[in-house]
Structure 1
Amino acid sequence: MSQKPTHQYFAPCPRGLEPALAEELSSLGAGGIKAVDGGVHFNGDWLMGAKANLWSRTASRVLWRVGDGQYRTDQDIYALARNTEWDWLFDVKRTIRVQMTANKKAPIQSVEFVTLRVKDAVCDRFRDTCGERPSVDRANPDVRIHGFLDGTRCTLYVDFSGEPLFKRGWRVATNEAPIRENLAAGILMLAGWTPEQTLLDPMCGSGTFLLEAAMMALNIAPGLKRSFGFEKLKTFHRIKWQALLDEARTAAQPPHPLAIYGSDKYGDALKAARANLEHAGLADCVQLKQVDLMEVSAPTETGVLVANPPYGVRLDELDKLAEMYPQIGAVLKKKFSGWRAYFFTADPALAKLIRLSASKRTVLFNGALECRLFEYKMVAGSNRKDSAQADQP
């Protein structure tokens, strides 16, 4: 029996941001919200899925659940995929890519083999219904099909997003290892930053925190300058989508100077940040300055400082960081009384060497890399620690 999809969605996100994403989706009007490790399940009509793509700042993708069933063998998975009405979802002329993942409980020997079985099932379905098979494009497909296997169930999804949602469409310049946009937005949310508060990134690199903050302050939908996977499906409602875009454009504030500041020691990094801000039309919203972190001063009496400091791999890098971290603590203590400071890092040494008492630690994942977001409330004379009392990660 064929399976015609209902509007059940799953939005994956960087691990640690599930509560922030659940709150976002709730504010957008999603129903059936259930946060799980790695993302959030929700439901709603077609427009809800489109709205989540347009407005979510923390989701990595929005996946539309199109098939679900129990399995014991790869033949069961093939049958599930064969009975899913792919021909109702998209035209045979669209190129496809299938990507399957499985958790440790899945009783399969090869994810690659199961991926091929699902691909064959999709193509066989089209051959049966229209006499043609869709072509596969691994690099830039029109339709991305995702599948997930646990110990007993296989769930199939069509990617409603296409390219990952952290690809906002504004980045034209980058540094060596930029933080992804949705993770940066989530960190700002976890920091409790709001546009009424001053924001400073003293190690701004290509400006990801600054751009995300400016778009949040101006209520600019993060997906306003890009296209999405759902636009290539037969279920695409062009008139409804255009109305949603018009509404988002009307809701956005015109660019104007904001209390958002960025600085960096290196001119090349500031050049990249400035290029990205200009490409996004936000150059007048953010104040940039080339200055070493140790020379930075607070631009206002209170505010939020957020930074993604470098972390080392080679011994010489580790030695430099071991010198830098205590200096960061000294600068915060001396110049940022009344501020909240947030450092996102994969380096466990920061917590020990900065010599300040973290008021909060949040575990986040940057891809597969486990990281920490440390919060420091800078109250004069109250949170300095000596090295013997150094914080534990």
Structure 2
Amino acid sequence: MTWNLFSPCPRGLEPALAAELTGLGATTSRPVAGGVVFNGDRRVAYLANLRSRLASRVLREVGRRRYRGPEDLYKLAAGIEWERHFDGRHTLRVDTSATRSPLRSLNFATLRIKDAIVDRLRERTGDRPSIDTRAPDARVWLFLEPQEATLYLDLSGEPLFKRGWRSGRDDGGDAPLKENLAAGLLVLAGWTPEQALADPFCGSGTIAIEAACVACDIAPGLSRDFGFERLLDHDAVLWAQLRGEAVRQAQAGIARATALRIAASDIDPEAIARARRNQERAGLPEGTIRWQVADVASLRPPFAQPGLVVSNPPYGERLEAGPAPGAHDAAMRAVGASLRSDWAGWRIWMLSADPALPRQIGMKENRRTPLFNGALECRFFRFDVFAPGERPERPRPPGKPSPQ
């Protein structure tokens, strides 16, 4: 049976996610704002949860209709065979999102969906699910457009960027980069495991760990569970087969990855300590990533052969810029000077919400790609560092793409 599926992702990664899902077997993959609409059977849905590095969730469409008011939403939900997916032994959560919906209250729309689900299950099974907003067994999403409502069954449970290796207690400090956005930066930068990679602002190590997991063929969902495992129609045999294949591939990938060139550094020793613990929880052997406590302004390239720098520079406090006005700009100028003088031949990619980043580091960007880090609008800047006497690329005519 072919399912209609939707995977949200960080805005800006939709085309990359569509290509990834096609590679996982989706029969169609169409990027839309904020995600990808695709088709596939149960195997594809399970694989998307297990192996997608870019998706935030995998949602299965279970109902759709035009609506004018909350009672139309009740009729939509009441006509769906929820008893095939969960029953009164399960806990339930319903969430609503909307784009230009005419309804005055999304909370009331959510309530009518809950009422319809509970009423149907009580009628069909004699029992009703309890509501649990923290850790539900089953999660239903209502998406409202101006005239059409769609209901989805969440197959993921926890968001897919939660790989299972990051500890909330152990990951204090600045909000870390989400794992699927970090993986997206590597895709957009064109990094492959054969290339050297450095992250000089590594924080808790997300970019470097994602890269090492790619190189070792560790499926991103290998260390966690999923919402579909708690549903009544779960195919445990198929899931055991897919997960077993992923375990074997990870074991083989780890055995092969003996000469990776992945390095990460941060000025904060506690950040490096957290990153090392995250690496261990991710199942990566010691030595996979070269960690270092270092100030970027005095950091030398970690490998003789140039490669890529992919990083998410923080604000001034982790650069030891101090509270003085203009200190952050001064620190970033020092970073730029170090990159220009010592990192010849490297291609530098930096994600920043500050459009002034190129001016701050004194480098002209070759490319800027719009991305969103949550609700924060960012740019993914590319800078090329040329060796003395090396000529930069000639300007290209408008509309002609430059190579990756």
Q: TM-score, normalised by structure 2?
A: 0.90
Partner of 1:269: 271
> What's 2:397 paired with?
none
Aligned to 2:155: 160
Question: Which string of whole-angstrom CA distances, capped at 9 and with x for unpartnered residues, describes residues 261-317 of structure 1?
Answer: 011111111111111112223232011111111111112231001111113699937
Residue pairs, 1:333-352, within 5 angstroms: 333-352=340-359
Return closer, same or farther for 1:193/1:168 CA change in 2, 3 Å cut-off. same
Maintained 8 Å contact 1:270/1:290: yes
1:103-142 residue pairs with structure 2 within 5 A? 103-104=99-100, 106-142=101-137
| Letter of the 2:254 counterpart | P
Residue identity in the other structure for 1:38? G
- Tell me the CA shift for residue 162 of structure 1: 0.3
Code of the aligned partner of 1:242: A
1:291 aligns with 2:287: no
8 Å Cα contact 2:6/2:38 also seen in 1: yes
* Structure 2: runs of 5 or more not aligned: 393-404
Q: Matches of residues 180-219 of structure 1 in structure 2 within 5 Å?
A: 180-219=178-217
Q: Give CA-to-partner distance per residue, 1:100-130, whole Å, 9 cap, x none.
A: 11112x1100111100010101001101111
> Aligned letter for 2:218?
I
Please say if 1:10 is aligned against 2:6: yes
* 1:328 shift after superposition: 1.7
Q: What letter corresponds to residue 386 of structure 2 in structure 1?
A: V
| Residue 327 of structure 1: how far off its partner (Å) | 1.5
Alignment partner of 1:20 is 2:16: yes
Structure 1 residues 297 and 321, CA gap change in structure 2 (3 angstroms): same
Q: 1:200-253: per-residue Cα shift (whole Å, max 9, x none)?
A: 011111100011000000111000010000001122111111000111112221
Q: What's the secondary structure of 1:10's corresponding residue?
A: strand
Change (3 A) 1:315 1:270: closer
Q: Alignment partner for residue 25 of structure 2, among 17, 25, 29?
A: 29
The answer on whether the counterparts of 2:66 and 2:147 sit within 8 Å (CA) in structure 1 is yes
Q: How does 1:1-393 map to 2 (within 5 A)?
A: 7-104=3-100, 106-172=101-167, 173-174=170-171, 175-252=173-250, 253-254=253-254, 256-282=258-284, 283-298=286-301, 299-311=303-315, 316=323, 319-380=326-387
Q: CA RMSD in A?
A: 1.7
Write the distance in 2 (CA, Å) between the matches of 1:300 and 1:162.
44
**Are 2:368 and 2:381, in contact at CA under 8 Å, matched by a contact in 1?**
yes
For 1:16 and 1:143, the matched residues in 2 are separated by 29
Shift of 1:347: 1.6
Q: Distance in 2 between matches of 1:308 and 1:272?
A: 17
Alignment length (residue pairs): 378
TM-fit CA distance, 1:160: 0.5
Q: Secondary structure at the match of 2:94?
A: strand
Q: Could you tell me whether the CA contact under 8 Å between 1:311 and 1:346 is conserved in 2?
A: no
Identity %: 47
Gaps of 5+ in 1: 384-393
Residue 335 to residue 40, structure 1, CA distance change in 2 (3 Å) = same
Structure 1 residue 86: deviation in Å? 0.5
In structure 1, C-alpha distance between the alignment counterparts of 2:135 and 2:276, rounded to whole Å: 30
**1:320 CA drift (Å):** 2.1
CA deviation digits over 1:121-150, x for unaligned, max 9? Answer: 100110111121110001110011001000
How far 1:73 sits from its partner (Å)?
1.1
Counterpart CA distance in 2 for 1:113 and 1:196 is 53
Deviations 1:177-218 (A, max 9, x none): 100000000001000000000000111111000110000001
Aligned to 1:200, the other structure's residue is in SS state strand
3-state secondary structure, aligned to 2:130 = coil
> 2:102 and 2:282 mapped to 1: Cα distance?
47
Amino acid at match of 1:237: D
Instruction: Give per-residue Cα distances to partners, 1:86-111, cap 9 Å, x unaligned.
Output: 1111122100000011112x110011
Opposite residue 346 of structure 1, the aligned amino acid is A
Structure 1 residues 318 and 259: alpha-carbon distance in aligned structure 2, compared to 1, 3 A threshold: farther
TM-score by length of 1: 0.93
Q: One-letter code of the match for 1:201? A: D
